[in-house]
Amino acid sequence: MSALFAAGLIQWGTWQNVPEMLLAIASEWVPVILAMLICIVLHECAHGFAAYRLGDPTAKNAGRLTLNPLKHIDWVGAIAMVLIGFGWAKPVPVNMRNLKHPRRDMAIVGAAGPLMNFAIALVFVFFSACLEAYVLSAGRASELVQILYNFCYYTAALSTGLGIFNLIPFSPLDGSKILGALLPESAYFRLYRYERYGMLVLIALMLLGRVFPQLDFFTKILMPAREAVLYAFRWLARLPFGLN
């Protein structure tokens, strides 16, 4: 009976710690999820808005000009973004027949997403520079300021990674739309003929890189590119405060 009573006390003590455990998990993952939603939703809205301004209402009619994240998230791409810093969302529907200059306009629509991500990154790096300047002037950093600083810098890193990843000139990523505007017409249609297989190839390459680190293209090339862009953004953002 005493052993059973002791086991009950241990179990009760474990359950008593559940609120603290949940709070710890929330404090770690809520900022990550929030940053991911900001990066994905604004990226996709930029695509849809660019297409709409160029004469194609397809994305608008499909409800993709919205800040509702459920309309935009591809869960595999979202998980990849959290795990390795590069990912993707559901492609915004675009009807090229509604565009006056299909190839040029598709390049503009494709570029709108990564450009939005770089703009997000610059804004959040600037916020982190503001916090850095505040800490230097105040002479101390509260826990809240530290949390906000980490969130700003993480969002900037995630958004930069998403922008760079999508600039890869490989269908169906945004970079392929930009490349398509530069290719001869025959090569252009050949490129889009195999678009449906592109994402499978990308997923396979990511999994291969996880199994064989020496073949991890994303870590060896894209992450240094992300750090270089972040360094440039950080230098620009800190310039007004004399922090460089």
Q: DSSP letter for 96, please.
A: G
219 within 8 A of 213, measured Cβ to Cβ: yes
N-to-C CA span, the chain:
68
Average pLDDT taken over every residue of the chain: 82
Residue 19 inside a domain? The answer is: no
Residue 18 lies in a domain: no
| Count of structural domains, the chain | 1
Q: Is the pTM of this model over 0.85?
A: no
- Residue 88 forms part of a structural domain: yes
In a domain, 80, yes or no: yes
Q: Of 68-77, 212-221, 227-236, where does mean pLDDT reach its minimum?
A: 212-221
* Active-site entry in 20, 28, 44, 227: 44
Residue range of the domain that includes 219? 29-241
Q: Is residue 7 part of a domain?
A: no
Assigned domain for 52 exists: yes
Q: Distance (Å, rounded) from C-alpha 230 to C-alpha 244?
A: 14
- For residue 4, being part of any structural domain is answered with no
User: Would you place residue 26 in the very low, low, confident or very high pLDDT band (cuts 50, 70, 90)?
Assistant: low
Contact 48, 59 (CB under 8 A): yes
Question: pLDDT tens, 128-138?
Answer: 999 999 998 88
- Domain contains 1: no
Coil vs helix vs strand at 230? helix
Q: Verify whether residue 44 is a known catalytic residue.
A: yes
